[in-house]
Amino acid sequence: MTERRGGGGMTDDSLVVTDLRVEFSGFVAVDGVSFDAHPGEVRFLIGPNGAGKTTCIDAITGLSRATGSARLGERELLGRPVHKIVRLGVGRTFQTASVFDELSVLQNLDIAAGLHRRSTSLLRARRGVDASVEQALEETGLAGELTTPAGILSHGQKQWLEIAMLLVQDARVLLLDEPVAGMSHDERTATGELLQRIAAKRTVLVVEHDMDFMRRFATRVTVLHQGKVLSQGTVAEVQADPKVQEVYLGTAGAATTAAMAVVPEAAAGTHTAEED
Ligand SMILES: Nc1ncnc2c1ncn2[C@@H]1O[C@H](COP(=O)(O)OP(=O)(O)OP(=O)(O)O)[C@@H](O)[C@H]1O
């Protein structure tokens, strides 16, 4: 058993990816990528379009065949089928929210919860709101939307519902693919704060394009470029890396470069506010 402790150290819920490699008919999309993520930090994976970010998540969750290693604590994930990886506690969201629009928030959560429940506890749950569902509703700020059809939730609320579904499944590792795409500024802030709360006890890995969001909420960042790790470290370290500046200058345009170049006061030290 590995030691359990919070604040970014190695635990049974740590995700450790080593020398990950994914090839599609001769094209190497992920080429020897290594990084780790631990409970207590909001870990970011960034990089230009086509860098290999989603493919890394696909490999970890069993959707793409990969070589190398992706370990949850002491368990190897690579080579296991998708449903077994889910059962080990690895949950993910996709770039497009995948909730049942016709069903209420509660019904969506009940279905998600069913994945980990026996029929007897499902029967019990039908008489009221299950404790895990109630906790997920509170944590994601959706408690007031119990009977709302998911289809009429705001864009941000749909993403939070997806995160809530992972919480009721008791995911120990959450892999989130562009969770704030299309969100308003306020929704992004609420999402960042939600991720910080969730990450206190779970491993959270966020794939993002939004540099401002990354600067505000990342504890550590891995930058991918053309399938390889270009840079890795705190927000301040990564932003100061000339290799990162060069890639963003060359591929992502002036706006992103400007966003990357600004190191906020709070991030200029070794870590972000939530560590203090
Ligand atoms: N199933 C597939 N078959 C062939 N090539 C693929 C497949 N999936 C991804 N790729 C290629 O692998 C590379 C990495 O794609 P990936 O989606 O992981 O990048 P990304 O960093 O997530 O990009 P984006 O930010 O645009 O989502 C791209 O060149 C993509 O075209």
ipTM, 2 decimals? 0.95
Instruction: Note the pLDDT of residue 271.
Output: 41
Out of 106-120, 171-185, 207-221, 256-270, least confident range: 256-270
Structural domain ending residue among the three candidates 138, 156, 171 = 171
DSSP state of 144: G
130 pLDDT higher than 50 = yes
Ligand 1 pocket, residues with Cβ under 6 angstroms: 24, 27, 29, 47, 49-55
Return the closest-CA partner of residue 227 out of 64, 10, 31, 86.
Answer: 31
Q: Span 135-139, mean pLDDT?
A: 92
In a domain, 154, yes or no: yes
Banded model confidence at residue 10, pLDDT cuts 50, 70, 90: confident
Cα–Cα distance, 236 to 193 (Å, whole number): 20
User: Which positions ≥6 away from 239 have C-beta within 8 Å?
Assistant: 215, 245, 260, 261, 262, 263, 267
Residues 110 and 191 in one domain: no
Residues 197 and 225 in one domain: yes
Question: Maximum distance among all alpha carbons in the chain?
Answer: 59
Residues 232 and 262 in one domain: yes
Distance 267 CA to ligand 1 centre (A): 30
276 pLDDT higher than 90 = no
Q: Among all chains, which residue has been given the structure tokens 């008791």? A: 170
State the total domains in the chain.
Answer: 2
Structural domain ending residue among the three candidates 128, 153, 171 = 171
Residues 177 and 167 in one domain: no
Distance 110 CA to ligand 1 centre (A): 33
Q: Span 175-203, mean pLDDT?
A: 93
230 pLDDT higher than 90 = yes
* 3-class DSSP state of 100: coil
pLDDT > 90 fraction of the chain, expressed in percent and rounded: 65
DSSP letters spanning 26-76? TEEEEEEEEEEE-TTSEEEEE-STTSSHHHHHHHHTTSS--EEEEEETTEE
User: What domain range includes position 274?
Assistant: 1-89+173-276
9 pLDDT higher than 80 = no
Return the closest-CA partner of residue 208 out of 192, 194, 197, 232.
Answer: 192
Cα–Cα distance, 204 to 240 (Å, whole number): 24
The protein residue with its alpha carbon nearest to ligand 1, atom 12, reads 29
CB 204 within 8 A of CB 43: yes
The protein residue with its alpha carbon nearest to ligand 1, atom 24, reads 49
Counting atoms of ligand 1 from 1, which one is nearest the CA of 25? 4
39 pLDDT higher than 50 = yes
52 pLDDT higher than 90 = yes
User: Which positions ≥6 away from 254 have C-beta within 8 Å?
Assistant: none
The protein residue with its alpha carbon nearest to ligand 1, atom 29, reads 50
Instruction: Note the pLDDT of residue 212.
Output: 87
Residues 107 and 178 in one domain: no
